[in-house]
Amino acid sequence: MSDPAESPAVSLDRPVVIWLRDDLRVADNPALAAAAESGRPVLVLYVLDEASDGIRPLGGAARWWLAGSLATLSERLARLGVPLVLRRGPAAEVVPAVVAEAKAAAVFWNRRYGGGEVAVDRALKAALGAADVAVKSFQASLLYEPWRVRNGEDRPYRVFSPFWRAARATGEPRRPLPTPAEINGFRGRVASDGLADWRLTTTRPDWAGGLRETWEPGEAGAEARLSAFLDGALARYADDRDVPAGTTTSMLSPYLRFGDISPFRVWHAAAARAVGGGRMVRAVEKFHAELGWREFAWHLLHHAPDLARRNFQPRFDDFPWGTAGDAVEAWRRGRTGVPIVDAGMRQLWTTGWMHNRVRMVVASFLVKHLLVDWRVGEAWFWDTLVDADAANNPASWQWVAGTGADAAPYVRVFNPVLQGEKFDADGGYVRRWVPELARMPDAWLQKPWEAPADVLATAGVRLGRDYPKPVIALADGRARALAAFERIRAAA
DNA sequence: TTTTGAGTTGTTCGA
DNA sequence: GTCGAACAACTCAAA
């Protein structure tokens, strides 16, 4: 790794800075592995950048995750004898400052793909290069680089299935790298903030109790979750992943979001289980495809950097969406009167996470039935999800809204009653998160407003008092959404 | 180059 | 209650 043109005596003394971002791990970390191999003293830097243009400040739940992830990373690095330096400010200032303080010869990082992040990294690479600091970047966060997957017309894909076929055709993702057994840790002095000084978690209202019960951020937590998934739900994944009650999904999303675990590690760990009968092969294929959706979102963001702000399909720019109102607040709080929607929104508020199937249902309800701008919902998810990232959150919202990358027509409106009856057939999910409906019989659980008076009375439910009446009649909401789309289409 | 048909994380309707 | 067809509008790749 060392440059033969340099004098070894000089170069090997000078440290290399590993600038970690969304790759908060020691395992399968190409930048760190390359630094370890170089023999130089290694210093790891994390910058809390809330000041650079085009970089979105983290939401509340994500800040909580980051705090946990950094704490465990710091311990893990300490055991390897490598210091973790925490600094706050715009990366364009902070990174060169740390390089100067450490008298570093090089900066290594793993690539980012968001518009603002790419611009920051590119400018830094130029500035550091001009100051004779070597910069090397690596592929770590995506299985497939966005510029390598293009369609027959040399354009990025706009539909998942052909995208994924083409991505897979470029080859198998590389194997994860071994964790460096030994690293020459930097022993000099460089100033660091204390993690607690950043106040990533709030204690005044301590809203993180449900998060602490649900999650263990960091590499060890990620490996535990991965093993549990591979040994458990994976076998039933192809059939049961849409069932929101119980644990049928991997719940690896926040770990992948912050890079507590590498997608290459997850990919190959799952692939190793694709043995024996066709069922496991099918399950692994399905799970790999879900990793593929994550890739697809990042590729979309890479080609459309304003994905969180602008409709991917500009023809929706004049769509008559609302942005506020009592119904929006009811949606946020899980008080819409539609059980599957409320269950999802309460799971989100409590645990920082929501089952994928239910995300589609609550998003469709907000955007279609309530005719609210998808950006309103996207912003709420950004603040409350532990796994929200700059690509998947807006891409998924746009997908549901019909404004995004999808071949399906806008008029696909999820029916929350049908979705509830289909995927939460035994009502386990609704009863868990909407306990005031726990005694409702299955036949009416997903649509209490249609239940006969005696059924409600027996279940102890007074609509409008114990549980809200629906904020909108579903048929009316659907009709209004279709009519609004019809106007757009006529205008185009 | 143009055309065609498969595909699309869905819903409703009617037999 | 279940099932197939109709609905819808767009992308993409094969013909």
In the structure, how far is the CA atom of residue A161 from the C1' atom of nucleotide B8, in angstroms?
A: 9
Q: How far apart are CA A442 and CA A425, in angstroms?
A: 8
The pLDDT of residue A8 is 44
pTM of the prediction? Answer: 0.95
The pLDDT of residue A7 is 46
The pLDDT of residue A99 is 98
The pLDDT of residue A410 is 63
Residue that the structure tokens 């789309």 belong to: A485
SS3 for A178? coil
> Across-strand partners of A134?
A106
* A321 given a catalytic annotation: yes
Residue A121 in tokens: 């990294």
Q: Per the residue annotation, which of A216, A321, A415, A421 is the catalytic one?
A: A321
Residue A1 in tokens: 């790794």
For chain A, 492 residues long, give each residue's pLDDT as a single digit of tens. Answer: 445 444 444 557 899 999 999 999 999 999 999 999 999 999 999 999 999 998 999 999 999 999 999 999 999 999 999 999 999 999 999 999 999 999 999 999 999 999 899 999 999 999 999 999 999 999 999 999 999 998 877 778 888 888 998 999 999 999 999 999 999 999 999 999 999 999 999 777 788 899 999 999 999 999 999 999 999 999 999 888 899 998 889 999 999 999 999 999 999 999 999 988 788 998 999 999 999 999 999 999 998 999 999 999 888 888 889 988 999 999 999 999 999 999 999 999 999 999 999 999 999 999 999 999 999 999 999 999 999 999 999 999 999 898 888 777 667 899 999 999 999 999 999 999 999 999 999 999 999 999 999 999 999 999 999 999 999 999 999 988 888 888 877 665
Any atom of strand B under 7 A from CB of A290?
yes
In the structure, how far is the CA atom of residue A32 from the C1' atom of nucleotide B11, in angstroms?
A: 51
Nucleotide whose C1' lies closest to the alpha carbon of residue A415: B11
The pLDDT of residue A279 is 85
Nucleotide whose C1' lies closest to the alpha carbon of residue A492: C9
Taking Cα atoms as reference points, which of A271, A436, A403, A68 lies closest to residue A445? A436
Residue nearest to nucleotide C11 (CA to C1'): A407
Q: Per the residue annotation, which of A109, A215, A374, A380 is the catalytic one?
A: A374
Distances (CA, A) of A175 to A162, A227, A228, A286: 24, 18, 21, 20
In the structure, how far is the CA atom of residue A412 from the C1' atom of nucleotide B6, in angstroms?
A: 19
In the structure, how far is the CA atom of residue A286 from the C1' atom of nucleotide C5, in angstroms?
A: 28
Q: How far apart are CA A263 and CA A30, in angstroms?
A: 13
Q: How far apart are CA A428 and CA A243, in angstroms?
A: 10
Residue that the structure tokens 């603002």 belong to: A116
Any atom of strand B under 7 A from CB of A342?
no
SS3 for A73? helix
Strands A106-110, A16-20: pairing is: parallel
The pLDDT of residue A329 is 97
Q: How far apart are CA A344 and CA A267, in angstroms?
A: 28
Any atom of strand C under 7 A from CB of A409?
yes
